[in-house]
Amino acid sequence: MQPARHPKSDSQTGTPHVRHPWLFRGAAILLGLSLLVCLEFALRLGGVHPLPDSRDPYISFRSNATLFIRDSSGTNYQTAPERIDFFRPQSFPVSKPSDTFRVFVLGGSTVQGRPYAVETSFTTWLKFNLQAAETERHIEVINCGGVSYASYRLVPILRETLQYQPDLFIVYTGHNEFLEERTYGDLKQSSSISLAAQKSLRDLRIAAFMQRFLPGIREEHGSSPKTVLSADVNARLDFRKGLESYQRDLDQRRDIASHFEYNIRQMILLARQADVPLVLVNPVSNLKNCPPFKCEFEDGLSPEQQDQLISLWKAANNCDWNQAERKMQLWEAALQIDQQHAGLLYSVGKTCEHQQRYSEAKTWLIKAKEEDICPLRILEPMHDSLFDLAQEYQVPLVDIRNLVEQQTPDGIPGSEWLVDHVHPSIEGHQLIANALYEKLVALRLFPQPADWQSKRDQLWREHLSSLSEEYFLRGALRSKRLEGWSRGRSQKIPPDSKQDAIQ
C-alpha cells in the first residue's frame, strides 16, 4: 500500500495562491459602485429628473372627489357643487381654443382673495395684467384657492388640472399646514438620518430612469399612511375648543415641515414631467400687527419662575413709553427665564419697534411667530424649503415676503399691506399680481409693451367700478369673523372623532 499523498502545492501546480480573496471582492464591489455613481452623474448631466410619487406616503384621503366637473352642456368645466363650501365658482372650456393661455393658481384662502373673494384676488389682477400685455390673446386665470387648504391638498388638485391643458401653474401656499389634525407615525419612528436616506433614494436619477423604461416598477413606502383625511378640510379652529388642542410639539413641527417640502417637490416634479412651467411664491406674514395666537411658558419652568416672569411682565407693561429703556431692561430679565413664550417675544419686538430698532424688532417678531403654539403663519423652515427647492430644480420663485418688506418703511410686514395675519389688502393683491407679471415677462412668457401700464390701469379702474358696495361690506364682515376664528372663538361642535380619527 502506498502512503497517502499530500495535495500538490500551489508552487507545484503553477496556480498562484490567493491569500486575500476579500481584496478582490472589495475591489469588485467598488468597481460596481463607481459604475453606478458614473451612471447617476451621467443621467443628471443628461437632464434626467426624479419622477413624482404615485401617492403621498404620509396621508391619504377618504375619497378622491375632483375639483372640476363638466357642466350640463358638456362644453365647460365648472367647480363641482360639493366643493363650493371651500372654493369659489370657476368655469373654463373643455376644448381650449388655440389662442388661449390657461393659468391655474393653487393655494389657500389668500389665493381665493379672503377676506373678500376672487374678484379682488391677485389672480384677477394678474389676468388684467396679462390681457393688457397681449390684447390678441385670450387669458384664463383659474383660481384654485381653497379655504384652509394646505400643500398636501394641493398636490391632488395639480395632478387633476394637468388634464385640462394648463400653460402655467402658480403655487402660493404655506400658511395652512397646521390646521388639520394628523400624525406621522412612520416619521416619528424614523431618525433624521433615516429620513435623509429616504429623501436621497427618491432623488436618484437611476430610479427615475428605471421607472421610465420599466413602468411596472413603482415606488414603495412601507406601511400604508396613518392619517386618512376627509375629502375637504376639517380645520381644528372650525370647532369649539379648537385652539385648546394646540400644544407645543417640536417633533410634529419637524414632521409637518418635512411633509410641506415633500409636497412642494411633488408639485414641481408633476409639472416638470408634463413640461408645464411652474412658479412658486414665497408668502408674506403679518409680523408687526399680529400677536401670537397661543402662548405657553417654556417647558420645565417651575411655578416660582413663572411667578417671577409674570411679575417682570407686569412691571414692563406698567412702564410708559418714555421709560422704554427701563421697559427693555425688564424684558431682558424676563428673557433670562423664558425664551419660548411667544407673547413675551412679541412684546420685546414691539418695544424695539417703538425705539426704532427695526432690525432687532423684526428678529424678535419672527421669533414670536416661530414660537406661536398655534402656527397660522408659514414657519421659517418652510420659507427655506421654497428657496432650496427653487434652486435645486431651477424653478422661478416670486419673493412676496421680501417685496412687502421693501415696500414697508420699517421693513417689517404689517397692516400696511395685510388686513390680518396673512391675507393681503386689495392693494396687496395688486402688488402680488404686478410681481408675478414681471416674473412672467422675465421668463419671456409675456411681453411688456410700452403702453402696458396705461392699459392695465384702465382695466383695473373698470373692474373696481363694477364691484358693488355690498361686495366690500361682505369682505369687512368676513374679516371680523376670520379674526374670531383665528382666536379660537368658534362654537361649532366637532365631528365624531371615531369617523375622522387617525386610522
- Give yes or no for residue 502 having a pLDDT over 50: no
Q: How far is CA 307 from CA 34, 89, 311, 326, 345, in A?
A: 63, 53, 6, 20, 17
Reported as a single tens digit per residue, the pLDDT across 55-74 is: 888 898 888 889 999 999 99
Grid coordinates representing 105 are 393658481
Mean pLDDT of 269-278: 97
Reported as a single tens digit per residue, the pLDDT across 108-149 is: 999 999 999 999 999 999 999 999 999 999 999 999 999 999
Residue 37: which pLDDT band, with cuts at 50, 70 and 90? low
- Give yes or no for residue 10 having a pLDDT over 50: no
Reported as a single tens digit per residue, the pLDDT across 286-297 is: 999 999 999 999
Which DSSP letter does residue 298 get? P
Specify the pLDDT at position 53. 84
Indicate the pairing of strand 68-70 with strand 76-79. Answer: antiparallel
Indicate the pairing of strand 397-399 with strand 227-229. Answer: unpaired
CA distance 131 to 103: 13
- Give yes or no for residue 4 having a pLDDT over 70: no
Specify the pLDDT at position 1. 46
Domains of the chain from N-terminus onward: 38-286+378-503 (3.40.50.1110), 303-371 (1.25.40.10)
- Give yes or no for residue 419 having a pLDDT over 60: yes
pTM score: 0.85
Residue 183: which pLDDT band, with cuts at 50, 70 and 90? confident
Mean predicted lDDT score pLDDT of the chain: 87
Query: Do residues 57 and 225 make contact, with C-beta atoms less than 8 angstroms apart?
Result: yes
